[in-house]
Amino acid sequence: MNSKKYFEQVAQQWDAMRQSFFSENVREVAYATANVQAGKVAADIGAGTGFITEGLARKGLRVIAVDQSEAMLEAMKRKLKEFNVVDYRVGESERLPIEDETVDYVFANMYLHHVETPSEAIREMARVLSAGGKAVITDLDEHGFEFLKTEHHDRWMGFNREEIKQWFEKAGLRNVRVDCVGESCCAESGGGSESATVSIFVAFGEK
Ligand SMILES: C[S@@+](CC[C@H](N)C(=O)[O-])C[C@H]1O[C@@H](n2cnc3c(N)ncnc32)[C@H](O)[C@@H]1O
């Protein structure tokens, strides 16, 4: 099974799964890092069922939510039907369905470790940012838990923070920094034989 099929399959359970992995504090750190302002436009890449999108809509932003999985986006649409500020777009990391330099913020939570070429995914995120726009990625630090690849279809076993910083800078972003979110992602293997606790970083850069 590839990652797209995996997320199509878990779309209905994703919110419950997500709550067991990490808390709402992760998105609060992401919003604070970007210093989000009402009335602006944000893109949420690998948006899933709208963990990041929902908070942004509640804060008064318009959001372009992009995901490879129609099922994840459909689940978000049902959940966020009270909001008319979300534009749902099916799309892939290498070719985001967003025009150049059109958004004020770009967020991606727990997306990067699923994509084939993370440096390329970051370059695409930088492409869609307007001048002065801000990119914020929250994801896993490097870890050694193989079962996250086999059971959760992770492609990368987290990231080295220095490498993330270099990818941001190569994408043309400045004032780059990578900090701790102050929370870990926790998951148990299906058989219950192993449990993972992996720290989460927040990476920031400005166009
Ligand atoms: C772990 S989920 C995170 C979802 C959401 N950001 C959250 O925090 O709950 C990863 C999401 O990224 C999407 N995704 C993975 N690889 C992708 C790619 N190459 N292009 C677009 N979306 C992708 C998946 O379909 C899935 O919805």
- pLDDT of 102-141, one tens digit each? 999 999 999 999 999 999 999 999 999 999 999 999 999 9
User: Which of 114, 136, 137, 202 for mutating ligand 1's site (highest number of atoms within 8 Å of CB)?
Assistant: 114
H-assigned helices in the chain: 3-10, 14-21, 25-34, 51-58, 70-79, 118-128, 147-152, 161-170
Ligand 1 centroid distance, CA of 140 (Å): 14
Q: What is the mean pLDDT of each run of 10 residues along the chain (207 residues)?
A: 88 93 96 98 98 98 98 97 96 97 98 97 98 98 90 93 98 98 90 87 98
The two tokens of residue 117 are 């070429």
Residue found by looking up tokens 């727990």 in the block: 110
Residues within 6 Å of ligand 1 by CB? 3, 7, 18, 46-48, 51-52, 67-69, 72, 92-93, 109-111, 114-115
Interval 18-37: pLDDT, tens: 998 999 999 999 999 999 99
Ligand 1 centroid distance, CA of 33 (Å): 21
Distance between CA atoms of residues 7 and 10, nearest Å: 5
For every residue of 47-62, DSSP letters joined together read -TTTHHHHHHHHTT-E
Atom of ligand 1 nearest to the CA of 92: 20
Cα–Cα nearest to 58, from 82, 74, 78, 35 = 82
Structural Rg of the chain based on CA atoms? 16
**pTM of this prediction?**
0.97
Instruction: Tell me the CB-side half-sphere exposure of residue 169, using CA atoms within 13 A.
Output: 10
User: Which of 67, 109, 112 for mutating ligand 1's site (highest number of atoms within 8 Å of CB)?
Assistant: 67
Ligand 1 centroid distance, CA of 49 (Å): 9
